[in-house]
Chains A and B, each alone.
Chain A
Amino acid sequence: MKPKVIPILFVCVICATLSVGFEAGKTAFTTHYETALLEEPQPLAKSVATLPFAASVNITALQGHWAQVSSTNGSGWIYLGNLAGTKPFENNSVAGLQTSASATTASVAARPLDNVTAQYDDQEGLGKAADDVKWLESQSDAISNSIVVDYLKANKKGEYQ
């Protein structure tokens, strides 16, 4: 059994490695709950349509960090950072929490099971480390999505390259 499993796993690993990039003629999927299909490969271009989470698109061309795609909602451009080569799994817990707008992420609403983590930290005598992690979360959460977007614009990163 084991000798057969190893080659299969190896093939899976190779496939996963090779699927990292995007190619014209291949299918990709949106990773955000709302992804704008743009008229041009520019972040401020006019939106042709809005695609839902895990929508399938066919890549017709690549230009820099943008993909020209066709979908059932029309054709246009999507920043590569908003696409995945494999269909993302819609977690039930996330789906249950998600509303229509993407202004807030589902995970911001879904905090850890505080009573479990607090009891665990207490039981294991990890109070100091737990305080550190809380501090980190407060510092990190203070960096909102709009601050990140401003950072991307200022540094010409992401879709603002």
Chain B
Amino acid sequence: MKKFATLGLLLLAFGAFAQFGGFFKNLQSNTNTQNNGNGGGQLAGFFKIGQDAGNVLKGANGIGLQEEETIGNSVAVQIVSRYGGLVRDPVITRRVNLIGKSLARSCERPELNFHFGVLNSPTVNAFSAPGGYVFITRGLYDLIQNDDELGGVLGHEIEHVAKKHALKIIARGEFLQGVAGLTSDAGAVGGKRDLTQYSQSVGQLSNLIIEKGFDPQTEYIADASGSQLAATVGYAPDGLRQCLQELQKHETAGATFFPTHPPLQDRITKLQANETARN
């Protein structure tokens, strides 16, 4: 069993780096023809995982758009559910979408259909999910002073999506099984699929986005490139920094703003360094 597991992992890694889809097909075909016992069946299973890994990791640079939107939609629903629902105010929603879409058409993935919403929560935070779902909380929206600051905040979240930060976590393998073969109808009974693994994967990814956040370096990259994006489109290049500095004034010991992001002062310091380097 251990031998098969090792072989499976090796193939998985090989699929990730080589993307030899045809090679996997041939191997799987050979395995199936030699599948005379239980061990062969297990091996075929590992080959299947390896092949799916190849498909998903082909997606590490491009998980299928439909899969990305599906995962993103499910994560978005989780975010909305855990943050008090959505602020159903057409005026506010139009404003964040006009600014957000203005930025998104100049990001690295303008083909995505971005959606920008405000969460009905007094906390101060912002989130994004694969496929182009971006949310800021009502608490943050109310503290934002102007379009430049809003542009900086949305630019940061757009860059998480454009740079596929969440998708790369999926591709690293932690959530691989839940999304592998998502588009396949195999296993669907009476039109219903067994979504046990998918649910677990979405739950894990949602927890990471909602509770832990990305690692600090990923956040600093999103800060830098989000500010650059805002500047390219014509918003103040220091809009995000201004926003963070404004939040700092309101931050008290009892209320941490952007809890899933690095400390405000660290982000401000790095943004200031970027601005100095640009000038």
- A residues with a Cβ closer than 8 A to B are 9-10, 13, 16-17, 20-21, 31-33, 65, 79-82, 84, 86, 88-94, 97-98, 105-108, 110-113, 115-117, 119-121, 123-124, 126, 128-130, 132-133, 135-137, 139-141, 143, 145, 147-148, 151-152, 155-158, 161
Contact = CB atoms under 8 A, between A and B. Distances in A.
B118 to A, nearest CB: 9
B68 to A, nearest CB: 8
B207 interface: no
Contacts of B76: 133
Interface stretch (B3-11, B42-50, B77-85): B77-85
Contacts of A152: 102
Given A65-B232, A92-B62, A124-B199, A129 B111 contact: no
Interface of B: 58-59, 61-67, 69-70, 72-74, 76-78, 80-81, 85-86, 88, 90, 93-94, 97-98, 101-102, 105-117, 131-133, 182-183, 191-193, 195, 198-199, 202, 217, 220-221, 224-225, 228, 232-235, 278
Interface centre among B61, B73, B81, B116 (most CB of A within 10 A): B73
Contacts of A88: 108-109
B232 A132 contact: no
A88 B259 CA distance: 32
Given A13-B221, A106-B111, A81 B232 contact: yes
Given A139-B93, A143-B98, 19 more contacts: A21-B278, A65-B232, A65-B234, A81-B105, A81-B233, A93-B62, A94-B111, A111-B66, A112-B72, A116-B182, A119-B192, A126-B77, A132-B86, A133-B86, A140-B117, A145-B105, A151-B98, A157-B233, A157-B235
A111 B64 CA distance: 12
Nearest to B270: A17
Contacts of A119: 192-193, 195
Contacts, number: 186
B81 A128 contact: yes
A124 B58 CA distance: 30
